[in-house]
Structure 1
Amino acid sequence: MLPADLASPLWSWNLVADFQQMWSFPFMVNAFRAGTIVAVAAAAVGWFVVMRRQTFAAHTVSAVAFPGAAGAVLLGAGAVYGYFTLCIATALVIAAVRGRGDREESALTGTAQAFLLACGYLFIALYKGLLEGPQTILFGTFLGITDGQVTLLLCVGAAVLAILALIGRPLLFASADPQVATAHGVPVRALSVVFLVLLGAATAEAGQITGTLLVFALMVIPAATAQTLTARPAASLALAVLLGLTATWAGLAAAYYSPYPLGFFVTSFAFAGYVIALGTRALRGLRTPFAVTVPTEEAA
């Protein structure tokens, strides 16, 4: 049995009192602030990731966040610098190899991903600090988020959203039909590079909350769920942000009242929403009446 000061708080089913008690701690206030910023930026960027069918690129960028953070900690720098440096650098590499053919692009990306993951495990083996360090990097935590980190996340998140809003319309056009967009003078290649940099920045943000192994879930699942429920771009994007916020807030509350990792709860709530969306779409299909063709006398 855990000591009283280490045991998880008890859920009382009085939601107002529970949230008041939870938000009485500055670290939980910072966790919700950081989680809100991360959820909005990740959902917005993730919506275009799903739209552009670049989930493999998003997975690669999220995977290399692990060696980036581990290497930064090994060098004595903050993990946040490693997150942003390697995620954005990897996004630029992916942008550089795009257009060489799907096979060569996938081979280069997968090879680099495997090598960098191996480097991450080497950095962890060389690091002689706290044993909880690797677990925090891989699976995320809401503990120890400082005011300075929240400010940094806010600045990066605001920049990502501002640039995304600026290029949103041409990016949507280029994502839906790149050939037609090119014919109309849309700079498809430049938009792709800018978007991949935004993907790297958003991934580095989200990795600090969910961990590097599960950042892919917060980036992709809310967007995939929203696009399953509606095909209208504006409604789908807004729904993706709402689903990301819901999964993040519910995950933070669940992690506070339990001893289990934050990333597990965020991913589980997001995945549950996706399953419900699939079920809803299936029910819509069952309720759609079948078109029955009645032969006419002329046809007979």
Structure 2
Amino acid sequence: MRQAMLVSALIGAVCGLLSCFVALKGWSLLGDALSHAVVPGVALAWILGLPFALGAFASGLLAAWVMGFIRRNSRIREDAAIGVVFTAFFGVGLVLLTLWPSNIRLRTIIFGNVLGIAPEDVVQMLIVAGGVLLVLALRGRDMMLWAFDATHARAIGLDTRLLQTLLLGSVAAVAVAAMVAVGAVLVIAMLVAPGATAYLLSDRFGRMMGIATAIGAVTAFLGAWISYFLDGSTGGVIVSLQALVFLVALVAAPRHGLLAARRARRTAMQEPA
């Protein structure tokens, strides 16, 4: 139980950190696509006798490349390309799992099972977390500039394709790691909700990253603890807590909440013309 709580907190913190970039780039649907696209990679890895994480990561990167290829070489809009690719990958994964039955439970892939996490999965989490932190330490400022204004980043000589690849790779790696805790379906919430909540609470990116990381870690830790006593889905409890925090911020955020906007409109109406 302690291991599950600590691993959940680690995943939540890393997801919260990356969710700031996902929120700024408007990549919410892309995170959903990557979380579903890992399913055929897991199935193929079992068939070929390879590590599940390797297959899932390769599948996620392939899906990201296919989405970009379709977007660059056709008239299809980005949202349509993402929708077609992730549903296709997910469908192929389901077919593989039914044609080659294995000890992989579809429910575990989709909904996760952090209470049954293996020691090698813990090592995988630590490697992924360390890799993401290293990428952000080396290229975090460039990625931040690119997330805010890709045109300006390109104009000053930054390799925007490399930055995009680094972010896509980080999101894919975290999606694979988080799949163990919350499953493929709910990964998208952990990659979006903390960043969206922090965006309502701060106008500075550095502070936004700190808030999102804290929200991800605390809600994941508490969600794993509460789910044990409820005997319910760990991923479901974690995501429900994150949704609750987001709703509170949406209503009560000091500058960007609904109540603040209402007060601002009321003040504007009371001011003399």
Q: Deviations over 1:74-130 (max 9, x none)?
A: 444443333222123323334445545773444443322222111121122224345
Judge conservation of contact 1:141–1:208 (CA < 8 Å) in 2.
yes
For the 8 Å contact 1:222–1:244, the answer to whether it is kept is yes
CA distance in 2, matches of 1:129, 1:192: 35
Secondary structure of the residue aligned to 2:92 is helix
User: Quick one: structure 1 residues 155 and 227, their matched pair in 2 at CA, closer, same or farther if it must change by over 3 Å?
Assistant: same
Query: 1:125 aligned to 2:98?
Result: yes
Contact 2:5 2:222 in 1 (8 A): no
Matches within 5 A, 1:22-41: 28-41=1-14
Distance 1:203 1:164 in 2: 17
Question: Which residue is equivalent to 1:283?
Answer: 259
Q: In structure 2, what is the equivalent of residue 10 of structure 1? A: none
Unaligned runs of 5+ in 2: none
Q: Does the Cα contact within 8 Å between 2:109 and 2:184 map onto a contact in 1?
A: yes
2:38 pairs with 1:61:
no
**Aligned amino acid, residue 109 of structure 2:** I
User: CA, structure 1 residues 251+294, in 2 after alignment: closer, same or farther (shift >3 Å)?
Assistant: closer
Q: Secondary structure at the match of 1:255?
A: helix
Aligned to 2:172: 200
Q: 1:211–1:102: structure 2 CA closer, same or farther, 3 Å change rule?
A: farther
Counterpart residue identity of residue 44, structure 1: L
CA positional deviation for 1:208: 1.4
Instruction: Say if 1:222 and 1:240, in contact at 8 Å, map to a contact too.
Output: yes
Please identify the structure whose Cα radius of gyration is greater. 1
What TM-score, normalized by structure 1, do the two folds share? Answer: 0.81
What percent of counterpart residues are identical? Answer: 26
C-alpha deviation, 1:279, in angstroms: 0.8
The runs of at least 4 aligned residues of structure 1 exceeding 6 Å deviation read none
2:107 is matched with 135
Aligned equivalent of 2:210: 238
Kindly tell me the number of residue pairs found equivalent between the two proteins.
Answer: 267
Which of 73, 80, 88 is equivalent to 2:53? 80
Conservation of the 8 A alpha-carbon contact between 1:92 and 1:197: no
Q: Which runs of 5+ in 1 are unaligned?
A: 1-27, 296-300
Structure holding more helix per residue: 2
Change (3 A) 1:192 1:129: closer
Q: Which amino acid aligns with 2:86?
A: Q
Q: Which amino acid aligns with 1:128?
A: P
